[in-house]
Homo-oligomer: A and B are copies of this chain.
Amino acid sequence: MANFSGVITVEDRLAILDMFARQSHCIDGGDAAGWAATYAVEGSFHSPTYKLTATGRAALTEFAENSNAGARSRGEQFRHHVSAIMLTPKTPTEVTSVSYLMILATTLDGTRVDRSVRMFDDLVKVEGEWLVASRTVLRDDAELQAK
């Protein structure tokens, strides 16, 4: 598909940034359904590293629950910090995003960087709300290993 010639409106851009922030607070705060609700109804999450694909909100909710439960069982509190967000409009309701994700893990012994990841997203505007249609996450360490 040829690129959309237009630009993202300021309102769309800010709504997308809000969505990223909300995702972090939801998944780190144990609101798995809230995190899944930031995906389109048939949205999907792909992690080649873990050979994982979750599609649809029920599967996405389960994935987020497992992720958070895993951290809690290790006595860890995760915090997802997203930065360097690059948005490219494709159509007035479709934007692709590439961004950095740093996950911090805190235990009673202190805080460390758990991992560094890139996120490749197809975002879609549905009834005025920006949602993730498809996300692929690539861990930097897995990428190094693949080289």
Interface positions of A (Cβ within 8 A of B): 10-11, 13-14, 18, 20-22, 24-25, 75, 77, 79-86, 98, 100, 102, 104, 106-108, 110-116, 140-141, 143-145
- How many Å lie between the Cα of A113 and that of B14 in the bound state? 28
CB contacts (< 8 Å) of A104 on chain B: these are: 102, 113, 116
| Oligomeric state, in copies | 3
Return A123 CB to nearest CB of chain B, in Å.
16
Residue of B nearest to A83 (CB): B81
Residue of B nearest to A115 (CB): B111
Q: Given A112-B113, A113-B112, answer yes or no on A140-B77 (Cβ-Cβ < 8 Å).
A: yes
CB contacts (< 8 Å) of A82 on chain B: these are: 83-84
